Chains A and B, each alone.
Chain A
Amino acid sequence: MTDLNLLYEAVVGGKLEIAVETTNSAIADGVNAHSIINDYLIKGMEEIGQRFENGKAFVPNLLMSARAMKGSLDILKPLLKDETSASLGKIVIGTVKGDLHDIGKNLVASMLEGCGFEVINLGVDVTSEKFVTAIKENNADIVCMSALLTTTMTYMKEVIEAIEAAGLKDKVKVMVGGAPVNDTFATKIGATAFSDNANAAVQTAKRLLAV
């Protein structure tokens, strides 16, 4: 019988190979996919997230853990009977027009993906039209915008206005982040939420979608 605590430890420790191996072994043993996700993978991510919040783990640890979890999820998703439960929600993410900084945005994207969200990463220098099109095409639950500059963060408001003009305001939650962005700014431009790090972004996305 597979020791599923190994899977939990693999996620916490960011060990992709062990996570994949243990997941395959658990499936062969007939363990329920939902149980593997809820009782071991998510709990592992919660633990590394908590360590990060406490200053006991760092961004590279989060990324390694997210990678291990994603490796396991990729195996489990086809086994989930209910297609909608294969993903916690769809998220469109991008760095706004004029801004080329993508490392923070990619970090958030990786964490969201690793934690079970379906992520559509639009890259950098993304126009409002491109955001709106991606939200429509993917029927996104959340759109995440990133900016690293005071000169480019103002474009987030234009994107929100474009979302409103497209009649999508009640269908999609808007999350914003980036070095110059804060709660006050987020509220001022009409965003749903602000997050100041990748781990908090995952928690916020879960809270917004009640998952």
Chain B
Amino acid sequence: MNAITTNRISNTYIEKSQLKLSDFSIDKTEIYRSLGYMDSIPETQFIEIIDTTLELLTSICKPRIGYQIYEGNFTNKGSIEINNIQLKAGRNIIKYFSKATQFAVFIVTAGIEFDNYMKKLRFENDTVTEFIADAIGSEIAQAGIRNLSKDINAIAQQTGLKISNPYSPGYCNWDLSEQQTLFSLLPAEPCGVRLNDSSLMYPVKSVSGVIGIGFDLAKMPHKCNVCNMKNCSKRIIIKAV
């Protein structure tokens, strides 16, 4: 439970492991874009595969979200200090957090059930469905973040606070190796997610990150020009639409 004092939220780690995919708002347009359909819709045969796969995944996926809200401060222009731990998010991200006084450290995952389904498709050599399911998995993770943001926003609003966009290691020049530090602010294997030596997450469709909370925060549009990943798939999609 969240214990709320004046403009201050302190809580323990919250994990929602009983979610259903039907609780999430899946945006099919995003799935189409991930598949390469920027300003058009797929042919009927592919829409049928997307719908069938999404329906199947709705019955088997067990997405989970977890977060913990901390107070934090800025020790230099590129870092946040939370619980005596430095998160080196970099200047590009820190400027969007600059008015935050608290930080929700979060994890979202489509779950191991999704990974198992992908393994099955691979075994069956069903490359078309595998490609489509991968795009759906990415959207499940994004929908999970939207779901989580709503939760954090509702908590923040109780004390008149606002939230920032979510930001994650691996994006906007935040080094991926910082995942290890970020995970140290969460319980062991939060939502069943673990890191490998390269700081990648299992299950694969998982996202970790931080949402800033404060009085004068606003959700800023994501700007690709602050990031140095010129070939990022998201940048290509945004540029194309």
Contact = CB atoms under 8 A, between A and B. Distances in A.
Contacts of B122: 106
B153 to A, nearest CB: 30
B232 interface: yes
A103 to B, nearest CB: 4
- Classify chain B's interface size: 20 to 34
Contacts of A150: 176, 229
Contact of A182 (B202, B204, B231, B233): B231
A64 B49 CA distance: 12
Contacts of B35: 58-60
Contacts of A190: none
Interface in B151-209: 170, 175-177, 196-200, 202, 204
Interface residues of A, number: 27
B134 interface: yes
A59 B131 contact: yes
B177 A60 contact: no
A150 B200 CA distance: 12
Nearest to A15: B45
A98 B127 contact: no
Where chain B touches its partner, the secondary structure class is loop
A151 B176 contact: yes
A151 B130 contact: no
B86 to A, nearest CB: 19
A166 interface: no
B128 interface: yes
B127 A110 contact: yes
Contacts of A107: 127, 131
Given A67-B128, A149-B176, A99 B46 contact: no
B204 A100 contact: yes
Contact of B37 (A58, A125, A149): A58
A179 interface: yes
A159 to B, nearest CB: 15
Interface string B133-149: 01000000000000000
